[in-house]
Amino acid sequence: MTGNRHNKIGIKQTIQKHWMDKTVHMLLAGVSEKEIRSELNEYLQTQLQSGGIGERGKKTYGMAIGILSSWFSPDTDLIPFRDNALSLASQLPPEKWLPLHWAVISASYPFWFYVAMQVGRLLNLQNQITQAQVFDRLKEKYGDRETVARNARYTLRSFVAWKVLNDTDHKGCYKKVTPLIISDSNIAILIYESGLLAMPNTNIDLGLLLHNPAFFPFQLPALNGEFIYQNSKRIDVVRYGLDNELIKLINKQN
């Protein structure tokens, strides 16, 4: 299942943050998976991708439920990670949930993470980027397919809907947004963990993870390896050389 997760694309429409919020509200209220699916089926019939209200076809809104299920029906190996995110959500108002949604989707749909990585790389070089530039960079990993470009376009439109990118006067061109400051180290660790889950590598240099351009919407604290290890049950840190650290996922028992 993990392998399938890393190979699938699956962002087949623009996702609005308030749809994610509604899903988390139901989870926190103890609503069952079956009831959540039923409620979302009814609710999304009235929710346009643009964020407005209006009727749309079942095939269209049904695609959104797959993304929203990142919260209520994740892959088995992601359940502890999701439970951690849900615990953090229970301590925060909904307007603070965006980093949690970002982490949960990135882990469940690594395509989202890889689009963000290309966006972040481009924004490190310039203040404005185009869809075409992002598409060109995705070709190296996913190939030159129309379905890749289409799903990337929906992902970019989701970034705009979540206000982590802004539209410009030119269609298909986007500009930087001031990043959200993440001061809670537990949220920062969750975001870093989502990067580990999104990448198929068994381990990665800590510095490369902390500065991954896929985290472009956030200003994250530069946590050291020991701190991350002590505050996560699922991350291990291994020192190599004089000052370098590798970070990896583990199943650490209490």
pLDDT digits (tens, 9 = 90+) for 159-195: 999 999 999 999 999 999 999 999 999 999 999 999 9
Write down the residue that tokens 């190599």 correspond to: 240
Output the six-digit token pair for 214. 């896929």
- State residue 62's pLDDT score: 72
Question: What are the tens digits of pLDDT across the range 137-166?
Answer: 999 888 888 999 999 999 999 999 999 999
- The CATH classification of domain 111-175, taken from the options 1.10.3720.10, 3.40.50.280, 1.10.10.10, 3.40.50.170: 1.10.10.10
| Rounded Cα gap, residues 6 and 1, in angstroms | 9
* pTM assigned to the model: 0.93
Q: Is the pLDDT of residue 3 over 60?
A: no
- Residue 8 φ/ψ, nearest 5 degrees: -75, 160
C-alpha closest to that of 43 among 22, 70, 29: 22
Q: What is the mean pLDDT of the chain?
A: 91
Query: What are the phi and psi torsion angles at 99 (to 5°)?
Result: -60, -30
Question: Pairing relation of β-strands 244-249 and 166-167?
Answer: unpaired
3-state secondary structure of 219: strand
106 half-sphere exposure, CB direction, 13 A CA radius: 29
Confidence grade of residue 250 (pLDDT, cut at 50, 70, 90): confident
Structure tokens at 198: 């999104």
Phi-psi group of 171: left, alpha or beta (phi > 0 → left; psi -120 to 50 → alpha; rest → beta): beta
Position 183, amino acid: S
Which residues in 133-165 are b (16+ Cβ under 10 Å) and which e? bbbebbeeebeeeeebbebbbbbbbbbebbebb
Residue 253 has pLDDT above 60, yes or no: no
Q: Are 105 and 158 in contact (CB under 8 A)?
A: no
